[in-house]
Amino acid sequence: MKISGGFDARRLRSRGPSSWRWRFGAALSALFAMLGVLLAMAGAAALLGRSPALGSLIATPTAAGILLVVGLLLLWGGVIAWRRCRRRLRRPSDLSLAPHLRKKHD
């Protein structure tokens, strides 16, 4: 049987969702992680009494401790979100085969 000239094999497989959302999410979560590192460093510096750049912004040890905890939480959340977005980006979008049906490479 002859294939007509208008045949396009790409139409047979549906297109997957675009990955720009996951890329944007990964970039945003990386920024959150960096902000968390900076806040944690500022809080630790204020707790150690070495915060000349911050001035009187964090005058009390309680505020410095809160800043340290918020920075660590932001770092933790940013890293977790970044890992999830990267995992979703790396997921293959092609057809899945069972492991025993794949070609064996020695």
Distance separating alpha carbons of residues 44 and 70, to the nearest angstrom: 12
- Residue 63 forms part of a structural domain: yes
What number of other Cβ atoms are within 10 A of residue 40's Cβ? Answer: 19
- Residue 100 forms part of a structural domain: no
Predicted confidence band of residue 40 (pLDDT cuts 50, 70, 90): very high
- Residue 102 forms part of a structural domain: no
- Residue 13 forms part of a structural domain: no
- Residue 83 forms part of a structural domain: yes
Task: Tell me which of 11-15, 24-28, 88-92 is least confident.
Answer: 11-15
Spell out the residues 6+ positions from residue 41 whose beta carbon is closer than 8 angstroms to its own: 71
- Residue 71 forms part of a structural domain: yes
First to last CA, the chain: 38
Distance separating alpha carbons of residues 19 and 90, to the nearest angstrom: 10
Average confidence (pLDDT) over 42-58: 75
- Residue 101 forms part of a structural domain: no
- Residue 84's identity, in one-letter code, is R
Say whether pLDDT at 33 is over 90: yes
Give me the domain span that covers residue 48: 20-90
- Residue 65 forms part of a structural domain: yes
State how many domains the chain has: 1
Distance separating alpha carbons of residues 95 and 106, to the nearest angstrom: 23
pTM of the predicted model over 0.75:
no
